[in-house]
Amino acid sequence: MNRLNHCITVVMLLSLTMAGWAEETTTNSVLRLSVDLVDGSHVIGVPTIESVPVQTPYAKMTIPLATIRSFTIEDDHETASFDLQNGDRLKGVVNLAPLELSAMFGTIFIGMEHVTRINVSTDGSSGRPILHYSFDRDEGNRVTDQSGHGHDGVAHRVGYEESIKGKGIRTSSSDSYVTCASPDLSLDGWRQLTVATWFKVSSYATYGRIFNRGNVEKGGAFSITVGGTYGGKPQKSVFSVRLNDGKSVAVRLDRFAELNKWYHIAGVYDGRTAKYYINGEVAGTTDVSDDARNATVAEPPGVDLMVGKCSVRRSWRDTHINGMLDEVMIFDRALNDTQVRQLYSSPK
Ligand SMILES: [Ca+2]
């Protein structure tokens, strides 16, 4: 926080030209900015501005914040690349006064020369999952989606036990897992993605695969594994996302999970980078190749979400995670570091 205070103090002494902050937006939603700073700090707050003036080589325009997904400030502190909600990408020069934000610790001003990236989110959508299985109640074959989006799952021979948060499910064989059928949950058009869960491994199976959108036979959109054992050797822990146009991105870590210990993991894809989080901290990142930036997540037809295993083939006996899972969540947005940390640190 000292570094942040120092940064903010310095910024408040700066006087940059104020330009074009007064334009109207078309929404009444409260927008929040998540601001990444050059020194590694991160601040979330409600801005006083409602739009950003941008000079491109071909036009001068004013972009409402509500239409922006995120923008990145380049090293010259003037040029910004915008990713818009409709998939458009724009690049131009921004001429901004210090950004005024109502943050948790009061009003602050941040000069753009200290900013590397800004994510825009709408109150009420950011940080809320589009699928949430809390597993707090044994409902037989049914798993009610607690997100309110109706993406209920089907439980296959799972056991319900006391967990790190209420109850969770035990998946102790290849026959115990949870599915959510396509097209109930469609990833079509998604440009960002977050998956998160608590897990505990009782013994290492071959794959240790927790989420699989699709399966190993048909392919799929994404998967996250915690690393199993194959041929006596520990397997990597991998978060991978398949993108349209045949692209993909994957983060590979050494197997980290000790037996009988709870971990929180999250996989985040934001159109530029894939990140694998362990217990609220980034454990590994992989950048998307330039030609695949902002590609949508692949959505092969007719594949289900599988939680706890990765194959529909009964002959594959060891494709599950042998242990427990809890608080399974999927978001159609890329959560930022703070939001992932909150998932990990929220009350047990
Ligand atoms: Ca639970």
Q: Using the predicted structure, report yes or no on whether residue 311 has a pLDDT greater than 80.
A: no
Residues with Cβ within 8 Å of 275's Cβ and at least 6 positions away in sequence, in order, are 239, 251, 266, 267, 268, 269, 282, 284, 285
Q: Using the predicted structure, report yes or no on whether residue 315 has a pLDDT greater than 80.
A: no
84-111 in b/e form (b: 16+ CB < 10 A) is beeeeebebebbbbbbbbebeeeebbbb
Q: For residues 168 and 325, is the Cβ–Cβ distance under 8 A? A: yes
Q: 59-69, pLDDT tens digit by residue?
A: 999 999 988 88
The dihedral formed by the CA atoms of 284, 289, 294 and 295, expressed in degrees to the nearest 10:
-110
211 and 309 assigned to the same domain: yes
Residue 31's pLDDT band (boundaries 50, 70, 90)? Answer: confident
**What spacing in Å lies between the alpha carbon of 91 and ligand 1's midpoint?**
44
102 and 158 assigned to the same domain: no
**What spacing in Å lies between the alpha carbon of 163 and ligand 1's midpoint?**
6
**What spacing in Å lies between the alpha carbon of 98 and ligand 1's midpoint?**
43
What is the tally of structural domains in the chain?
A: 2
**What spacing in Å lies between the alpha carbon of 348 and ligand 1's midpoint?**
9
Question: What is the CATH classification number for the domain harbouring 153?
Answer: 2.60.120.200
- CA–CA separation, 3 vs 126, rounded Å? 27
**What spacing in Å lies between the alpha carbon of 302 and ligand 1's midpoint?**
29
Among all chains, which residue has been given the structure tokens 């494709």? 319
117 and 137 assigned to the same domain: no
Tell me which of 190 and 310 has the higher pLDDT: 190
114 and 236 assigned to the same domain: no
Tell me which of 327 and 225 has the higher pLDDT: 327
Q: Using the predicted structure, report yes or no on whether residue 117 has a pLDDT greater than 70.
A: yes
Q: Using the predicted structure, report yes or no on whether residue 18 has a pLDDT greater than 70.
A: no
- CA–CA separation, 177 vs 309, rounded Å? 6
**What spacing in Å lies between the alpha carbon of 67 and ligand 1's midpoint?**
35
Query: Taking the complete model, does pTM exceed 0.95, yes or no?
Result: no
**What spacing in Å lies between the alpha carbon of 158 and ligand 1's midpoint?**
14
282 and 230 assigned to the same domain: yes
**What spacing in Å lies between the alpha carbon of 307 and ligand 1's midpoint?**
15
88 and 157 assigned to the same domain: no
Question: Of 26, 102, 17, which is closest to residue 64 (Cα–Cα)?
Answer: 26
**What spacing in Å lies between the alpha carbon of 174 and ligand 1's midpoint?**
21
**What spacing in Å lies between the alpha carbon of 131 and ligand 1's midpoint?**
14
**In the numeric block, which tokens belong to residue 331?**
């978001």
User: What would the mean pLDDT of 69-98 be, rounded to a whole number?
Assistant: 87
Mean residue pLDDT of the chain comes to 82
261 and 340 assigned to the same domain: yes
**What spacing in Å lies between the alpha carbon of 143 and ligand 1's midpoint?**
12
Q: 278-296, pLDDT tens digit by residue?
A: 999 999 999 999 888 878 8
pLDDT, position 124: 44
Q: Which of 93, 122, 151 is the last residue of a domain?
A: 122
269 and 301 assigned to the same domain: yes
Maximal C-alpha separation, the chain: 68
- Cis check for the bond before 183: say yes or no (omega within 30 of 0): yes
**What spacing in Å lies between the alpha carbon of 178 and ligand 1's midpoint?**
14
Tell me which of 271 and 205 has the higher pLDDT: 271
Tell me which of 178 and 43 has the higher pLDDT: 178
**What spacing in Å lies between the alpha carbon of 103 and ligand 1's midpoint?**
31
**What spacing in Å lies between the alpha carbon of 214 and ligand 1's midpoint?**
24
Q: Using the predicted structure, report yes or no on whether residue 14 has a pLDDT greater than 70.
A: no
Residue 55's pLDDT band (boundaries 50, 70, 90)? Answer: very high
pLDDT, position 21: 28
Distance (Å) of CA 62 to CA 51, 66, 95, 302: 6, 12, 11, 42
**What spacing in Å lies between the alpha carbon of 50 and ligand 1's midpoint?**
39
User: What would the mean pLDDT of 1-29 be, rounded to a whole number?
Assistant: 36
Q: 33-45, pLDDT tens digit by residue?
A: 888 889 878 787 8
Range of the domain at 32: 2-122
